[in-house]
């Protein structure tokens, strides 16, 4: 999937692909103001909060370094029938932001189609799961204290300015579940300075960092943080632990008194490791992801005229002479070889208008699209979903 945000991030950071992800701290700047405002704006973030029933921790507010109690900026909207729905009290939230505060929307990709399409593109690019959090800070508000994340992050400054400090790791590649709490910050400052509109920064897992507008006076800052959780050797070993249950030897009780069978277990474990290498785990991980949410296709609501592939990772297409196998999200479909041009177009990750695509890939496009939508590998391209791609991803076949 070709996405303007990915191209801009690569250019800003001097990358030529996802191979550099997680290696070194690096920062740069995007030379595309229109792209920056297209991704997200402060008002759009607040509009999302206004129109949805959000709850902590999806939406949080911080002031003076401490979390504001939800009762201060949440209210219950009661219907005439007495049904209560928790909503953000925008008047109260506006007062907090006017005084100086930070609001955080976790997993903005769940609520906003642009963020959804951006995360999907980053997943296809990195072959890892991605989520995005949005941070809006106003006036002289402080941020989180010095901390580290258990995943790699790519930060894009979308509006205003914010002061950052990034330090080295105090433990190489720490993990959420680890043998060491890793609670002592490093003294080595790698970079400190202002992130301005259009700036991009990559902070690898474990690097200590903090951001604030304290001392900056009036103004604002909006940035989004794309969290990218990569697989580790520990992830592979946990996966092997599940596979070992296939073998009877691992299902037997351990003998505490005599210790018998230890040699056989060790030999069986070594065999399992050789049979299922890390590459197999990475492939299986992509196939094990569940299908994402999307609007179901119901012909009673209208004809199928446009679709887009919504799998978390790029589908795999395998040619076998007269047939083609499609593997994605734990599903395997076999189609006639003549469907190959349609498959490549429909599974490109770009929006596809079917009437236009038929002129490029043949009349099979409509039938293949109906199959892919039925199997939930493609989604109906609603106007709302299409808006997430507009200006960021070109239509397939155009």
Last residue of a domain, one of 228, 259, 276: 228
Q: Is position 394 within any domain? A: no
211 and 277 belong to one structural domain: no
Question: What pLDDT, on a 0 to 100 scale, did the predictor assign at position 66?
Answer: 93
Last residue of a domain, one of 228, 256, 278: 228
| CATH number of the domain enclosing 180 | 2.60.120.650
Q: How far is CA 384 from the centre of its chain?
A: 19
76 and 224 belong to one structural domain: yes
154 and 170 belong to one structural domain: yes
Q: What's the predicted TM-score (pTM) here?
A: 0.95
The answer on pLDDT for 397 being more than 80 is: no
Total domains in the chain come to 3
110 and 182 belong to one structural domain: yes
Q: Is position 293 within any domain? A: no
- Between 1-5, 205-209, 269-273, 347-351, the lowest mean confidence (pLDDT) is in 1-5
**Contact between residue 87 and residue 75 where contact means Cβ atoms under 8 Å apart:** yes
Q: What are phi and psi of 274, to 5 degrees?
A: -75, -30
153 and 242 belong to one structural domain: no
- Between 53-57, 241-245, 334-338, 371-375, the lowest mean confidence (pLDDT) is in 53-57
76 and 142 belong to one structural domain: yes
**65-111 pLDDT, tens digit each:** 899 999 999 998 887 888 888 999 999 999 999 999 999 999 999 99
Question: What pLDDT, on a 0 to 100 scale, did the predictor assign at position 90?
Answer: 97
Last residue of a domain, one of 228, 243, 277: 228
**Contact between residue 206 and residue 169 where contact means Cβ atoms under 8 Å apart:** yes
Q: Is position 177 within any domain? A: yes
Domain, as residue range, for 370: 299-389
Q: Is position 156 within any domain? A: yes
C-alpha torsion sign, points 13, 157, 132, 310? negative
Question: What pLDDT, on a 0 to 100 scale, did the predictor assign at position 56?
Answer: 85
Q: Is position 395 within any domain? A: no
The answer on pLDDT for 398 being more than 70 is: no
108 and 215 belong to one structural domain: yes
**28-79 pLDDT, tens digit each:** 999 899 999 999 999 999 999 999 999 888 999 999 889 999 999 999 888 7
Helices 354-361 and 364-374 cross at an angle (nearest 10°) of: 120
Distance CA(304)–CA(302), nearest Å, equals 7
Q: Is position 32 within any domain? A: yes
**140-191 pLDDT, tens digit each:** 998 889 999 999 999 999 999 999 999 999 999 999 999 999 999 999 999 9
The answer on pLDDT for 259 being more than 80 is: no
149 and 14 belong to one structural domain: yes
**Contact between residue 162 and residue 219 where contact means Cβ atoms under 8 Å apart:** no
Q: Is position 130 within any domain? A: yes
| CATH number of the domain enclosing 335 | 3.90.930.40
Q: Each residue of 326-361: b (16+ CB within 10 Å) or e?
A: bebbeeebebeeebbbbbebbbbbbbbbbeebbeeb
50 and 180 belong to one structural domain: yes
Q: Is position 341 within any domain? A: yes
The answer on pLDDT for 354 being more than 90 is: yes
262 and 190 belong to one structural domain: no
Distance CA(203)–CA(26), nearest Å, equals 7
97 and 29 belong to one structural domain: yes
Read off the tokens for 113.
């189609």
Q: Each residue of 199-227: b (16+ CB within 10 Å) or e?
A: bbbbbbbbbbbbbbbeebeeebbbbbbbb
What number is the average pLDDT over the span 340-359? 96
Question: What pLDDT, on a 0 to 100 scale, did the predictor assign at position 260?
Answer: 67
237 and 212 belong to one structural domain: no
**Contact between residue 213 and residue 139 where contact means Cβ atoms under 8 Å apart:** yes
């Amino acid at each position: 999937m070709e996405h303007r945000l990915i191209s801009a991030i690569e250019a800003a950071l001097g990358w030529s692909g996802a191979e550099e992800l997680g290696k070194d701290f690096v920062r740069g700047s995007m030379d595309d103001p229109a792209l920056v405002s297209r991704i997200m704006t402060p008002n759009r973030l607040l509009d999302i909060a206004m129109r949805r029933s959000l709850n902590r921790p999806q939406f949080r507010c911080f002031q003076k370094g401490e979390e504001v109690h939800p009762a201060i900026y949440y209210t219950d909207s009661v219907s005439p029938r007495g049904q209560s729905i928790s909503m953000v009290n925008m008047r109260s939230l506006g007062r907090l932001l006017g005084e100086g505060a930070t609001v955080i929307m976790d997993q903005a990709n769940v609520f906003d189609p642009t963020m959804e399409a951006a995360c999907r593109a980053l997943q296809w690019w990195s072959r890892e799961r991605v989520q995005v959090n949005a941070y809006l800070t106003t006036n002289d508000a402080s941020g989180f204290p010095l901390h580290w994340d258990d995943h790699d992050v790519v930060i894009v400054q979308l509006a205003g300015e914010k002061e950052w400090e990034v330090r080295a790791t105090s433990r190489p590649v720490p993990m959420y579940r680890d043998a060491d709490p890793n609670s002592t910050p490093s003294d080595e400052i790698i970079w400190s300075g202002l992130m301005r509109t259009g700036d991009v920064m990559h902070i690898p897992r474990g690097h200590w960092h903090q951001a604030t507008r304290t001392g900056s006076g009036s103004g604002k800052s909006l940035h989004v943080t794309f969290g990218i959780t990569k697989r580790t050797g520990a992830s592979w070993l946990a996966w092997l632990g599940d596979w070992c249950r296939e073998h009877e030897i691992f299902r037997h009780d351990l003998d505490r008194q005599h210790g018998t069978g230890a040699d056989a277990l060790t030999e069986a474990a070594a065999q399992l490791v050789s049979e299922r290498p890390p590459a197999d785990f990475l492939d299986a991980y992509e196939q094990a992801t569940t299908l994402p949410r999307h609007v179901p296709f119901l012909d009673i609501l209208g004809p199928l005229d446009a679709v887009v592939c919504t799998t978390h990772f790029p589908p795999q297409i395998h040619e076998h002479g007269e047939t083609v196998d499609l593997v994605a999200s734990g599903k395997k479909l076999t189609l006639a070889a003549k469907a190959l041009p349609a498959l490549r177009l429909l599974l490109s990750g770009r929006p596809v208008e079917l009437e236009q695509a038929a002129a490029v890939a043949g009349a099979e496009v409509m039938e293949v699209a109906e199959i892919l939508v039925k199997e939930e590998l493609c989604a109906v391209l609603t106007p709302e979903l299409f808006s997430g791609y507009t200006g960021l991803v070109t239509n397939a076949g155009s």
